[in-house]
Amino acid sequence: MPVRRALLRATGQAIALAAVLCGCAAAPDPGGVPVLRPEVLAEVPHDTAAFTQGFEFDGDALYEGTGLAGLSQLRELDPATGDVRRSVPVPDGMFGEGITVVDDRIWQLTWRDGVAIEWDKATFALRREVAVDGEGWGLCRDGDRLVRSDGTDRLRFHDPATFAETGSVAVTRDGAPVDELNELECVDGRVWANVWQSDEIVRIDPADGVVDAVVDATGLLPDDRRDGADVLNGIAHAGGDEYLLTGKLWPTAFRVRLDPPG
């Protein structure tokens, strides 16, 4: 191999290694999308019985929606301790999914029960159930619309007052569809999405569905603490570049910094 090419290759490997070691730099994947490594700042205990499906900050509260038929709840947590301040069961044994706060209400999806539930945020009283087509996976609020994932490669938009579907966009990474988008977080006009059964979070521009950054969260929950834990799922924006990440049945939630790419 010519010396110049060998040198270039060695330099590339060194940069990639440095990015992994310091956990801070954004290294491009082969297709050119920046790959971020989360920098862990702190840990907060997480209930290992919580099959996390929705995770979102609102003021001094952290809201969580949990899943599994018969075990699903809407919960308010103390963000400092992870303690459950209050909870309410999802009715009729339905399987709870993503949640998002809209002013004095909270929307919660169900997986295959065909409805979204509207809760009163102050009292946790159920206000109504609204019919939804397809499956419910993740949910977040992007300005004057809600964004829903449904297990496909599409993000669907909904009216935050009526939950009527208003449009959708297909999600692609380097031109290829990305499906099984799960828990969502809307931040500054972008949508962060867990990819089911992976340690990846993708950042999507909802205007065109293009993935413009990827978080590689491999090893976030170390192997020796994975006993009983299910997949990475749960992104709550804590402000600035900080996020709280957890997973289904995980013993902890990680406060991390995600340096914005470029």
Q: Rounded to the nearest whole angstrom, what is the least distance from the CB of residue 97 to ligand DDQ in the complex?
A: 6
Question: Which position has the token pair 């992976």?
Answer: 198
How many angstroms separate the Cα of 87 from the Cα of each of 59, 72, 181? Answer: 17, 10, 26
Question: Site for ligand DDQ (CB under 6 A): which residue of 137, 157, 163, 254?
Answer: 137
Residue whose CB is nearest to ligand DDQ in the complex, by number: 137
The interface partner of residue 56, options being Ca ion, ligand DDQ, none and the CB cut-off 5 to 8 Å by kind, is Ca ion
Q: What is the Cα–Cα distance from 182 to 72, expressed in whole angstroms?
A: 17
Q: Where are the beta strands (DSSP E) in 217-257?
A: 232-239, 242-247, 252-257
Convert residues 208-247 into a mask of x (bound to Ca ion by CB under 5 A) and - (unbound).
---------------------------x------------
* Contacts to ligand DDQ from residues 77-136, by CB under 6 A: 97, 111
Q: Is 31 exposed, middle or buried (0-12, 13-18, 19+ CB in 10 A)?
A: exposed
Convert residues 16-55 into a mask of x (bound to ligand DDQ by CB under 6 A) and - (unbound).
-------------------------------------x--
The interface partner of residue 247, options being Ca ion, ligand DDQ, none and the CB cut-off 5 to 8 Å by kind, is none
Q: Assess 250 for contact with ligand DDQ (CB under 6 A).
A: no
What is the 3-state secondary structure of 35-76? EECCEEEEEEECCCCCCEEEEEEECCEEEEEECCCCCCEEEE
Q: Assess 182 for contact with ligand DDQ (CB under 6 A).
A: yes
Looking at 17-25, 53-61, 153-161, 239-247, which segment touches Ca ion (CB under 5 A)? 53-61
How many angstroms separate the Cα of 56 from the Cα of each of 27, 100, 101, 225? Answer: 28, 7, 8, 24
Question: Which position has the token pair 């009163």?
Answer: 120
55 closest CA partner among 259, 256, 248: 248
Q: Assess 142 for contact with Ca ion (CB under 5 A).
A: no
Q: Assess 64 for contact with Ca ion (CB under 5 A).
A: no
Residue whose CB is nearest to Ca ion in the complex, by number: 185
Question: Could you tell me how many residues make up the chain?
Answer: 262
Q: Assess 135 for contact with Ca ion (CB under 5 A).
A: no
Q: Assess 56 for contact with Ca ion (CB under 5 A).
A: yes
Three-state DSSP class for residue 94: coil
The interface partner of residue 111, options being Ca ion, ligand DDQ, none and the CB cut-off 5 to 8 Å by kind, is ligand DDQ
Q: Where are the alpha helices (DSSP H) in the chain?
A: 3-22
The interface partner of residue 65, options being Ca ion, ligand DDQ, none and the CB cut-off 5 to 8 Å by kind, is none
Q: Assess 57 for contact with ligand DDQ (CB under 6 A).
A: no
DSSP 261: P
List of residues contacting ligand DDQ (CB under 6 A): 53, 67, 97, 111, 137, 151, 182, 196
List of residues contacting Ca ion (CB under 5 A): 55-56, 185, 235
